[in-house]
Amino acid sequence: MGEETISEEELAELARLKVPLVRVRGQWVELDERQLKAALRAVESARSGQAPAGDLLREIIAHDDELPLLEVDADGVLGDLLSGQTERRLTPLGTPPGLDARLRPYQERGLAWLSFLSELGLGGVLADDMGLGKTVTTLALLVRERADAPTLLVCPMSLVGNWQREAARFAPGLRVYVHHGSGRDAARIGAADLVITTYGTAQRDLETLRAHTWRRVVCDEAQAIKNSSTLQARAVRSIPAGTRLALTGTPVENHLAELWSIMEFANPGLLGPRTRFRTRFQEPIEARQDEQAAQALRRATGPFILRRVKTDKSVISDLPEKLEVKEWCPLTTEQATLYQAVVDDMLTRIDSSEGIERRGLVLSAMAKLKQVCNHPAHLLKDGSRLAGRSGKLARLEQLSEEILAEGEKALLFTQYAEFGAMLQPYLAQRLDRPVLWLHGGLPKKTRDRLVDRFQDDPEPMLFVLSLKAAGVGLNLTAANHVVHVDRWWNPAVEDQATDRAFRIGQRKNVQVRKLICAGTLEERVDQMIERKKALAERVVGAGEEWLTDLSTDELRDVFKLTAEGV
C-alpha cells in the first residue's frame, strides 16, 4: 500500500473497516474496496502448496483486471517461464540421436524451449521467421521424446507432402501415417508416431480423431485457425491432447483477435473467454493504445510465444547467406485427371514417331505437363477462374502471404509469360499488395520504372518475372526471397535468376524456394538433375534438350503420375 508491504492480517483488517482513507505507517492511503477484496481473494487462493503450472498462470492472468499485477516474484521453473526469456535461460538441447540433421544453435535453444513447455504440460506457439526451420525443430522434439501416444499434425493440403518428405529425410525412425484422401484408415493411427492430416480432413473426421489418445496436436500454418469461430478452428481445438503446438511464420502479437484464437488452441482457457479478452485487452489496446493492458497481455502470452527473426544478430550468425528449400506441392483432382490425359495421349504419339518430330513431341509433352502442374487454366488457356484448382498456386499464395506479413519482398520467377500474366492480377487482388510484372514485351523505360519502384518503395511487395526477360542484368537486392514457380531444369539458368537478389549490395540472407509438384515429372526430373550435379558438378545441357534423348520407356517412367502426388 503506497510504498509499504503489509501483512495478510492488516489486509483483512482494512477490508473489515471499509473506510476509503486510512493511515498506514504514517502515510494516508486511499483504498478501493473492490481492489481490497480482490487482493484478499488472491492471497487466500494462493495458500495451497501445489498447483499445475497452467493453473497458476491462469490464476495470475485472471486477477489482472481487478487488481493491477505489477510484478510476479518466482524462481526455478516458474521463474524461467514467467520471465518471457525461457529460451535464453534454458540449456540448449543438442541434436537428438535419430535426427538426420545438425541443429543450429538457435534451433537447439528452440528445442529446449519446446521440450520444457511439453514437460510442464503446456502448449506453445513457435512463430519463427519463415526459413528458420520450424519443421526440423518440431521433428527433433518428436524424435527426442519417443512418446507412447502419437502426435497429430494438422496442416494445409499443400504442405502434406512436405511434412511427409521432411519426416522421411530428417527422422527416418518415426512411423508416419498420412490420414487423408479416399484410402484413409483410422485403424493405422494407433501404430504411428506421427499422423499427418489436413484441416479439412480433421473437421470431417473429427469424431474419429477425438476417439484417439494424442500426445500432442500440432497446427502448422496456424493462421488457418486465426478466426476462432470457423468450423475448422473449433474442430482442432476440440481434439483432446497432452499438449499443443502452433507453428506460424506470421507474427501473432499484432492481430489481437487472431492471437486469442491461436492461444486458445495452444493453452485452452489461459486468456479467459473471448468476450472478456475483447473488453480487457483488445479494445483498450486497439482503441486507446493502453500501455498497461499491452504490458499485461505481453506478460500473459510472452512465455508461450517464441519468435526469432532473421535480423537478430544471434540468429543471423547461425544462418547461411543463401538458403535453398524445395516446396512439394500436391495436384488437385482436376490437375491429376488432366495430367494423366496428356501423358496417355503424348506417349502414344511419341512411340510412333522418330527424329526431329519425336524430339518436338517430347518437348511439347514436357511443356504441357508443366503447365498442368502450374494450373489447369494455364494449359487450357480458357480464361477460367484460378482459385482452388491448383496445389502449386495454393502454396505460392501461402508463401507470399507470409513474406508480405513479415514486411519483406519477393521475386517470383516463371518461364511462361502467359502464366505470369495470370498470376499478377490474381495475387494483387488476393493479397491486397502491389504485385509488379516484368516480361520481355515491355519497353526499357517501363522495365526501369518497375525496377526502381521495387528497389526504392519501402512497401512489402511481390515482383513476378518471366525467367527469360529477367535472367540477367537486373539488380533486385530489395528482395530477400526468390521463388521459382516452375522449373527451367537448367541449374545455371535458375542460379542466374536467383542472383538477381543474391548479389553485391544484398544485406539480408536470401531464401530460395523451388516449387515442385510431387509424384509428377517435376519431381523425377529434379531427382535426375540432383544426380547429375552430384556425379559431375556439370551443368545439364541448356533447357530441356537433354531429356529428348530418353527412350520411350524412360520417358514413361519420367512422365507417370504416382498416387502420392494427388
Question: Which tens digits make up the pLDDT trace of 154-205?
Answer: 998 888 888 998 999 999 999 999 999 888 999 999 999 999 999 999 999 9
Give yes or no on whether 81-316 and 322-565 have one common fold: yes
Cα end-to-end distance, the chain, whole Å: 66
Cell 511419341, located at residue: 350
Q: What is the pLDDT of residue 540?
A: 37
Q: What is the pLDDT of residue 463?
A: 95
Q: What is the pLDDT of residue 473?
A: 60
Give which of 465, 448, 521, 511 is closest to 489, Cα–Cα: 521
Cell numbers that stand for 438 in this block: 516484368
How high is the mean pLDDT in each 10-residue block of the chain (566 residues)? 79 80 80 80 69 72 63 77 76 93 92 92 89 91 90 90 90 94 89 95 95 95 86 93 90 76 92 88 87 83 84 68 87 95 92 89 92 96 93 95 92 93 96 93 86 93 86 76 86 75 74 93 85 46 63 86 78
Measured from the Cβ of residue 553, the count of other Cβ atoms closer than 10 Å reads 9
Q: What is the pLDDT of residue 535?
A: 41
Q: What is the pLDDT of residue 537?
A: 37
Cβ atoms of 541 and 489 within 8 Å: the answer is no
Cell numbers that stand for 329 in this block: 506441392
Q: What is the pLDDT of residue 220?
A: 93
Distance CA 447, CA 1 (A): 68
- Topology of the domain comprising 81-316: Rossmann fold (3.40.50)
CA atoms within 13 A on the CB side of 380: 14
- On the 0-12 / 13-18 / 19+ scale of CB atoms within 10 A, 539 is middle
Q: What pLDDT digit, counting tens, does each position of 464-486 carry?
A: 998 777 655 677 888 989 999 99
Cβ atoms of 488 and 510 within 8 Å: the answer is no
Q: What is the pLDDT of residue 539?
A: 36
Q: Where are the domains of the chain?
A: 8-69, 81-316, 322-565
Q: What is the pLDDT of residue 252?
A: 67
Superfamily name and number for 322-565: P-loop containing nucleotide triphosphate hydrolases (3.40.50.300)
